[in-house]
Amino acid sequence: MAAYTRRIQLTGGSTYIISLPSKWIRENRLEKGSELTIDETNGNLLISQAALGKNELVKKINIEGKVDLVNFQRALTSLYISDFDTLVIRSSQYIDDSLRETVKKFSRLVMGVEIFEESSRTIVLQNVLDTSSFPMANAVRRMSLNVETMLGDVIKGIEDNDTRLLESVISRDDDVDRYQLYVYRMVNRRKNEAENSIFYLIFSRILERIADHAVNICKIWNAGEHGQDDPKAAMVEFMKNATALYNSSVEAFYAKKFEVLNSIISRKPEFIEEKQELTESVEGSRFTHYLSSISEEALRVALYATDIAELAMDIILGNKMDFTIYS
C-alpha cells in the first residue's frame, strides 16, 4: 500500500483542503468533478471512489466433469472472503442437484450473497449487502451477543433437561459462523486498513471457538444418560462461572476497562483447578466420561475468555504512547 504525505491548506478563511496524488487520480480514472467518499473511522479518514464510480468485481468458477462437493464448498468460501460483487458458476454440462444444493447452502451460510440467476449450466450469485451500513465492529458485537445467548441457553437447557433448547443452540452456531466469514471478508478489504481489523479478526475467531464448545456441550449432554443421582449441580455451577468470566471479558473488551483485565487473566489457574476437582469428584462412577468431557469444554470457554482479556489489553496498550500502571 502506497503512503502519501500532504500538508493541510486553508482557503476562503474557513475551508481546509489537501491535494490528491496525480498518480492515484490517473489509476482510478478520476477527473475534475468526480465524486469521492470520505469515511471516518477511529479518528482516521479514508478517501475512496464514490459507490457510483466503483467497478463491479466479477469472478468465475468453471466446472469440468464431476467435482468434489467439499472442495467446491471450500472454494466458494475462499472466493467470498476474497470478495466479489458477482460470482458466475459455469459448467460444461448439466449442473446436478447435489451441486445446486451446495451453492444454496453456501448462500445461506454467508451474509449478503443471493442466487440471482439459474440455468441448466449456470448459477449466478450476487453480493447484495451494503457493507458501509454494516461495519465490521457491528458484526463482531452481534457475534459476541449471540455467543452470550448460546452459553446462557446451554446452562438453562441442562438445568431444565430441555433437549429442544439445546438443539436450538446447535443450530445457532451457523449464525456465528456467518458473522465470522463476514469479518474475514471485511478484513480482506482495503477499506479496513485504518481500523484495528487484526484485533477484530482474532476476536471473531475466539468467539467462533467458544460457540463450538457450547455446541459440543449440547451434543455431549443430549447423548448421555441422566438420573436422579446425576451430579448436574456442580457441573452447571462450573459452566456458570465460565460464562460469567466470558461476559466480564467481553464487557472489558468493548469498554476498554484496563483495570479489570489482569484480574480476568489471572483466573486461569483457578478454573483449571476447579475443573480437576470436578472430574475427580465423579471418578469411577457412570458419570465420569460425560461430566469430564463437558467440564473440559466449559474450561475451554473460560480460557478463551482470558484470551479476550489479553486481546483487549493489546488494543489498549497498542494505542497508547504514554501509560501509567498503578499499584
Q: At what angle do helices 258-265 and 288-318 cross, to 10 degrees?
A: 150
User: Across the chain, what does the average pLDDT equal?
Assistant: 85
What fold characterizes domain 134-318?
Methane Monooxygenase Hydroxylase; Chain G, domain 1 (1.20.58)
User: What average pLDDT does this structure show over 88-96?
Assistant: 89
The H or E element that residue 76 is part of is: helix 69-82
C-beta separation of 89 from 124 below 8 A = yes
- Residue 207 contacts residue 180 (beta carbons within 8 Å): yes
Nearest one of 63, 59, 164, 171 to 108, comparing CA atoms: 171
Q: Which of 162-166, 187-191, 311-315 has the lowest mean pLDDT?
A: 187-191
pLDDT at 209: 97
Q: Looking at residues 177-190, what average pLDDT do you find? A: 86
**What value does the mean pLDDT take over residues 116-138?**
86
Q: What is the pLDDT of residue 319?
A: 65
Query: Please, are residues 61 and 89 in contact by the beta-carbon 8 Å criterion?
Result: yes
The lowest-confidence range among 59-73, 77-91, 161-175, 274-288 is 274-288
Instruction: Assign 53 a pLDDT band (cuts: 50, 70, 90).
Output: very low
Q: Which residue has the higher pLDDT, 54 or 150?
A: 150
Give 177-181's long-range contacts (Cβ < 8 A, gap of 24+). 177/109, 177/208, 177/211, 178/109, 178/110, 178/111, 179/111, 179/139, 179/140, 179/142, 179/143, 179/146, 179/204, 180/143, 180/204, 180/205, 180/207, 180/208, 181/77, 181/80, 181/81, 181/109, 181/110, 181/111
- Across the range 116-130, mean pLDDT stands at 89
* Residue 275 CB burial class (10 angstroms; 0-12, 13-18, ≥19): buried
Helices and strands counted in the chain (H then E): 10, 8
CATH architecture for the domain at 58-131: 2-Layer Sandwich (3.30)
Which runs of consecutive H residues, i.e. helices, occur in 135-196? 136-159, 163-188
Q: State yes or no: pLDDT of 326 exceeds 60.
A: no
pLDDT of 194: 47
Compute the average pLDDT of residues 234-257. 94
Q: How far apart are the C-alpha atoms of 135 and 169, rounded to whole Å?
A: 26
**Bridge partner list, 58:** 86
Report domain extents, the chain: 9-53, 58-131, 134-318
pLDDT: is 67 or 326 the higher one?
67
Q: Which residues contact 189 (CB under 8 A, 6 or more apart)?
A: 83, 131
Question: In this prediction, what percent of the chain has a pLDDT beyond 90?
Answer: 46
Asked if residues 176 and 207 have their Cβ atoms less than 8 Å apart, the reply is yes
Q: Cα–Cα distance between 222 and 268 in angstroms, integer?
A: 28
Q: Residue 228 class from Cβ within 10 Å (0-12 exposed, 13-18 middle, 19+ buried)? A: exposed
What average pLDDT does the segment 37-66 reach? Answer: 74
Q: What is the mean pLDDT of residues 38-61?
A: 71
Q: Has residue 190 got a pLDDT over 70?
A: no
What percentage of the chain reaches a pLDDT higher than 70?
A: 87
Pick from 7-11, 154-158, 243-247: least confident: 7-11
pLDDT surpassing 70 at residue 151: yes
Per-residue pLDDT for 289 more than 90? no
Checking if the pLDDT of 247 tops 80, the result is: yes
Q: Give φ, ψ of 242 to 5 degrees.
A: -65, -40
User: What crossing angle do the helices spanning 232-255 and 136-159 adopt, rounded to 10°?
Assistant: 160
Strand partners, 11: 15
The candidate with the shortest Cα–Cα distance to 274, out of 247, 239, 307, 230, is 239
**What average pLDDT does this structure show over 174-186?**
92
Q: Domain 9-53, what architecture? A: Ribbon (2.10)
Q: Do domains 9-53 and 134-318 have the same CATH topology?
A: no
| Cα–Cα distance list, 109 to 77, 112, 281 (Å) | 9, 10, 41
